[in-house]
Structure 1
Amino acid sequence: MQNLPYIGRFAPSPTGPLHLGSLVAAMASYLDAKVHGGQWLVRVEDVDRDRNVAGADQHILASLQRCGMHWDGDVTWQTQREHLYDAALRELGANIYPCGCSRREIADSQLRLSQAGNPNLVYPGTCRNGLAPGRTARALRLRTPQEPHCIVHFHDRFAGDVSQDITAEVGDFVVRRADGFWAYQLAVVVDDGAQGITDIVRGADLLDSTPRQIFLQQLLGLPQPRYLHVPVVVNEDGEKLSKQTGAQAFDTGAAADALLDSALLPAARFLGLEVQADSIDAFWRAAIPAWDALLRAHGEAPHRP
């Protein structure tokens, strides 16, 4: 990957307007692309149609532009790419099997495993060898190797060396949900591969998902990007700042320059960047070399084509 031109991305879900936590992820990915002289793509991850909010995608795109973040190429929407997920599912072939378990049944099985002394809450493999008589398929799951276990190792540019035993810690995971929607794990892998993404910079809440995505990349013959998971913003209760925990939009329609003090500078400080600026343009002129210096302070000399 290091010899390929850098292609990064920001992939928001249109479940509402951007908040400070999502701005931090957007800013980190944007700065990393700029420091490496690469492209920065925007992909709207709207595959979970039930959670989409009408007009949220356009609000997100407008907020990025008002903050001075301009993407390369055309914006893509996952709902326009579902034929790619179908093709990937066919390629996975016998690695996929139908599952008839409800969430309640899986939770009950996990509770029994926990009470029996198993600390890992994983899918117990109920439907791995076929559906029980009278059961109908709900979700589609990806079969994970049992002997030997599927253990994935990778290096994260922030967290360092990461290892996960997917077999023991996750189990067979869903690639198409019971509601018919594509699971995040499959969609994101297919999209990143199709767009030639070389570097993924996103929140640390997705660090645990990365081994599953690498496993899918291996099965589909896709290259493995580099990863950098930045810390996530939390609220007063220590919960990840999100729409579900009441995060407020940072862009309420005020003058664009007001976003400097209310959003851009706080996001930069959260990332450990000491930036002083009196305009949005001046902010980015200062923030890009500040990110470069931060990477070098952590022993990483940015690669430029």
Structure 2
Amino acid sequence: MNTDIGFDLIRSFVIVAQELNFRRSAERLNLDQSALTRRIQKLEQILGIRLLERTTREVALTPAGQSYYRDNALLIARHEESIQTARRVAQGKEGNLRIGYMAFAATELMPQAVARFQRVAPEIHVSMRYISTQAQKLALAHDEIDIGYLIGPFEHHDFHSVLLASELLYVVTPKNHEILRKYTISPKDLAGQRLILGDPRDWEEYRWRLTEMFSAEGVTLDVGIEASTTLALIGLVAAGMGITIYPESLIGFLGKNVETRPIIHPNFRSRTVLAWKRSNRSEQVRRFVEGAKALPPSH
């Protein structure tokens, strides 16, 4: 027996079973009654059983038809529901948005963009993960996140990116540190200073950017202590263990036990970019990116 039954045949039967009227069923299916009749006859022929008892006055399900209807009505309902869900996702009215972010985006850039997005798209579930820049690049490539806040610049043919912030770099010191006696601080003033920096595993991109900037000025960084979190780094600075370097976005969140000064040099800046895969054309991503770009730029 040929059991290769088309979906249209099953759906036609389910609607006839619901209506028990061929005229109304044909209208729902946008078919001629004769075409609907042929569909039911073809389904019965394929199955080798009679599903309907039809007279000139009424239509009734056979016992076999009742059983077949019960088993397939849920299938049809779920299929139609899935179509509606897919349409809402395509329109950006339903779905998930997965965001990766690093420390420098955690205080303002990411929260403000998420808050704006949730106001205009409250039906989209947004999840956020703290991930280093290098790990975000891999997560984007493997479709584990949709959007990433990375230390930039980031240029790759598989990804879009947009610059969101270009910030001054600040020296963060214990209270009354000797370097604060200088009216202005240049990169060369940090030569020989004991630095506390993020460990290479979690801060690889930032460490590389700092090394590149200072090397261009002939300064070798003396890294004495490493830690993995911004709070640990600040705690170590406040305890007098050394100094660190942070972008401007974090300065307002450091507390009263440390002091800060900007590093005066045109090339000493930290850049944050928003990146997403070129092949990810979802409406959710488009709407989030547009909202993030519309926020006031950070300098």
In which range does the TM-score fall when normalised by the shorter chain? under 0.3
Name the larger-Rg structure: 2
Asked which structure has the greater RCO (Cα within 8 Å, sep 6+), the reply is 1
Higher helix share: 2
What TM-score, normalized to structure 1?
Answer: 0.21
Query: What is the TM-score normalised by the length of structure 2?
Result: 0.22
Q: Which has the higher strand share?
A: 2
